[in-house]
Amino acid sequence: MKAVSSLSSLLACASLAAKGALAASYDDIPTVEVYGQHFFYTNNGSQFLMKGVAYQQNYNPNGTSSQDNSTYTDPLADADACRRDIPYMKQIFTNVIRVYAIDPTKNHDDCMAQLASADIYVVADLSEPKTSIQSDDPSWNVELYQRYTSVIDALQKYKNVIGFFAGNENVSSGNQTSAAAFVKAAVRDSKGYISSQKYRTSLGVGYATADVPTRDDLAAYFACEPTDAGNQTAIDFWGYNVYSWCGDSSYSASSYGERVEFFRDYPVPVFFAEYGCIEGIDGGATHRPFTEVGVLFGNMTDVFSGGIVYEWFMEENDYGLVSIDGDSVSPYPDFTSLRNQLSKVDPTLTQRSAYTTSNSAPSCPTDSTWEAKATPLPPSPNSDMCNCVVQNLECNIKSDDEDKYADVFDFICGAGKDFCDGIAHNATTGDYGALGGCNPKAQLAWVANKYYEGNGKSSSACDFSGLATIQSASTASGCSSFIAAVGTDGTGTVASPTGGASGTASSSKSKGAAPGMAAPAFFNFGKPLFVAYVTIALVSAVGMVAL
């Protein structure tokens, strides 16, 4: 059953103003900034509480990279859809939307202007389905850096952009905590990029977590700052995807009270990045009563900054608030419930002038079940460095067929651990090679060259069934410092880039070239498996040397 809106006349008014007036709206809207544990409007210092909705069609945000979910619809590039939906969003008091993936090559001016004219802000995820930090095989590399910085470039000019999520539910189980190190490196480099480009200082970078057993350690890890360099690696805000309040639950039964107490001393804003349970609802998924709204915008506002309902569009998962048919919007009953609940809230707001920050960064997790070291973090991907190093090698990879890379990686790293130190990315031990963020072809070139050198520079040691070739090493202008920083073993520290990834990043996700496969999986997970693999590799070494 659908509750059909009687306010269809709003659609006729959705154009709001001429394009010239709309174009100025995202320049004129006051920015929202983080100060201590809260968000504040910069024009009057009033506290900003999120009354939001997730706005993304044909996308399943799950913290993983999936070949089955490789396409998406950019919600900020469809001005007509924004014109259709915004009047209905305002009926449920929307002041922020969350988008999970945008296409940075498209123009977003029209939709962003419409949103700004309606006083609606945006929090955007930086990844996209094919380019994200994978939970079970994580890395932080040139391709990801290029994607993240391109989204920042595309959206930074709009003053109604509050900030970005560097990851979403990348850690969903206890054996995935090492992935947190790569997401935190992404936070660091995204913040560093915003600063280096002199973009708006109010742009924040955060993380959105699932409600998982590791949530407390996750919260501590992303907010801790183990160095004395300020808050360069700490998140600016924390998003919580929470579905524990189902139907007519309560403050205690939903564990909302426990979450409030846990985050009471947290140093940055916390909000529900997703909420709206559909389990056990009388009448079915489209009849959510949203009774949690009164609590979220009631006694929780001294700690939590509101929340974002999941979600606008009705998809196969049944979480949609509305049904879309062309230009027609038909709200479901829970749309009306949400509107009614929000219409009754009257939260007490804090003024920035009357607020003093007092919460300090938490300690980094130290329990034995937490796998990600707080320091060092994975190095910043630097495509200029990657290109310089490859030019300076004597054995290079000429084939772009990444399906063939995995066997060569496995053989070389099995034949000698030192050959692959330069591409290591082990968050558990904190061992990272300088080339751990390069694309697979560059990484394979490095290890192939090390193997070539280790075997007396024999021509047969630089072939690998035609994948490799001997070249004249060269040092291009500006490359000397990179090569010196990398070092002969590839474990040196290279300066962070100050711009976007200028090199060509691999876009492939083949079996031999997935981001986490750049260094063979066995190489990251401890000595016993490595020793076993070396035994196998040595047995077959005679046959492989001639490849």
Asked which of 205-219, 253-267, 492-506 is least confident by mean pLDDT, the reply is: 492-506
Question: Is the peptide bond prior to 333 cis by the omega test (within 30 degrees of 0)?
Answer: no
pLDDT number for residue 69: 52
Residue 404, pLDDT above cutoff 80: yes
Query: Domain check: are 102 and 201 in the same one?
Result: yes
Digit-coded pLDDT (tens) for 129-142: 889 999 888 999 99
Calculated CA dihedral for residues 314, 320, 326, 331, nearest 10 degrees:
140
Asked which of 167-171, 188-192, 351-355, 495-499 is least confident by mean pLDDT, the reply is: 495-499
Residue 542 · residue 448 · CB < 8 Å: no
Query: Domain check: are 90 and 235 in the same one?
Result: yes
Rounded to 5 degrees, φ, ψ at 201 are: -70, -20
Give dist(CA 508, CA 67) in Å, integer. Answer: 11
Tell me the pLDDT band of 231, cut-offs 50, 70 and 90: confident
Query: Domain check: are 333 and 411 in the same one?
Result: no
**For the residues of 174-241, what is the DSSP string, one character each?**
GGGTTHHHHHHHHHHHHHHHHHHTT--TT-EEEEEEES-TTHHHHHHHHH---SSSTTSSS-SEEEEE
The answer, as to whether pTM is greater than 0.85, is yes
What is the domain-level CATH number for residue 74?
Answer: 3.20.20.80
513 within a domain of the structure (yes/no): no
Tell me the pLDDT band of 505, cut-offs 50, 70 and 90: very low
pLDDT number for residue 136: 87
225 within a domain of the structure (yes/no): yes
pLDDT number for residue 350: 92
Query: Domain check: are 350 and 389 in the same one?
Result: no
Residues paired with residue 123 on neighbouring β-strands, in sequence order: 98, 163
Candidates 133, 202, 141; CA nearest to 168 is 133
Residue where one domain finishes, among candidates 433, 457, 486: 486
Candidates 524, 507, 542, 489; CA nearest to 409 is 524
Query: Domain check: are 62 and 167 in the same one?
Result: yes
Residue 43, pLDDT above cutoff 70: yes
pLDDT number for residue 49: 98
Query: Domain check: are 324 and 452 in the same one?
Result: no
Give dist(CA 394, CA 187) in Å, integer. Answer: 35
Residue 330 · residue 85 · CB < 8 Å: no
Residue 396, pLDDT above cutoff 50: yes
Region 24-41: what's the mean pLDDT? 95
Residue appearing with tokens 């490859």? 390
Q: Coil, strand or helix: which one is 8?
A: coil
Tell me the pLDDT band of 117, cut-offs 50, 70 and 90: very high
Residue where one domain finishes, among candidates 486, 517, 541: 486
Amino acid letter, 111: C
**For the residues of 454-493, what is the DSSP string, one character each?**
HTTT-GGGS-TTTTEEE------TT-HHHHHHH-TTS---
Residue 207 · residue 235 · CB < 8 Å: yes
Region 161-170: what's the mean pLDDT? 96
Q: Coil, strand or helix: which one is 244?
A: coil
Residue 215, pLDDT above cutoff 70: yes
Tell me the pLDDT band of 59, cut-offs 50, 70 and 90: confident
Query: Domain check: are 110 and 167 in the same one?
Result: yes
Residue 524, pLDDT above cutoff 60: no
Number of domains in the chain: 2
pLDDT number for residue 22: 54
How many other CB atoms are there within 10 angstroms of residue 3's CB atom?
15
282 within a domain of the structure (yes/no): yes
366 within a domain of the structure (yes/no): no
Query: Domain check: are 387 and 337 in the same one?
Result: no
Q: Is the dihedral of CA 289, 291, 297, 300 positive or negative?
A: negative
Tell me the pLDDT band of 378, cut-offs 50, 70 and 90: very high
245 within a domain of the structure (yes/no): yes
Candidates 219, 76, 100; CA nearest to 164 is 100
335 within a domain of the structure (yes/no): yes
Residue 54 · residue 274 · CB < 8 Å: yes
Asked which of 62-71, 246-255, 341-350, 496-505 is least confident by mean pLDDT, the reply is: 62-71
Query: Domain check: are 94 and 46 in the same one?
Result: yes
Residue 400 · residue 441 · CB < 8 Å: yes
Digit-coded pLDDT (tens) for 426-476: 999 999 999 999 999 999 999 999 999 999 999 999 999 999 999 999 999
pLDDT number for residue 4: 40
200 within a domain of the structure (yes/no): yes
Across 87-96, 368-377, 530-539, the highest mean pLDDT is recorded for: 87-96
Query: Domain check: are 327 and 425 in the same one?
Result: no
Asked which of 58-62, 362-366, 420-424, 427-431 is least confident by mean pLDDT, the reply is: 58-62
CA 46 to chain centre: 29
Q: Which residues span the domain enclosing 55?
A: 32-354
User: For the chain, how long is the longest CA-to-CA vector?
Assistant: 81
Query: Domain check: are 75 and 141 in the same one?
Result: yes
Asked which of 44-53, 100-109, 115-124, 228-237 is least confident by mean pLDDT, the reply is: 228-237
493 within a domain of the structure (yes/no): no
Give the catalytic positions in this structure: 169, 274
Mode of pairing for the β-strands spanning 237-242 and 204-210? parallel
Region 519-532: what's the mean pLDDT? 33
How confident is the prediction for the chain on average, in pLDDT?
Answer: 86
Query: Domain check: are 56 and 136 in the same one?
Result: yes
What is the domain-level CATH number for residue 458?
Answer: 1.20.58.1040
Residue where one domain finishes, among candidates 434, 465, 486: 486
**For the residues of 281-302, what is the DSSP string, one character each?**
-TT-GGG---TTHHHHTTTTTT
Region 48-69: what's the mean pLDDT? 74
Provide long-range contacts, Cβ within 8 A and 24+ apart, for 282-287.
Answer: 282/247, 283/333, 284/318, 285/318, 285/319, 285/334, 286/1, 286/2, 286/318, 286/320, 286/332, 286/333, 286/334, 287/332, 287/333, 287/334, 287/337
pLDDT number for residue 500: 61
Give dist(CA 274, CA 293) in Å, integer. Answer: 13
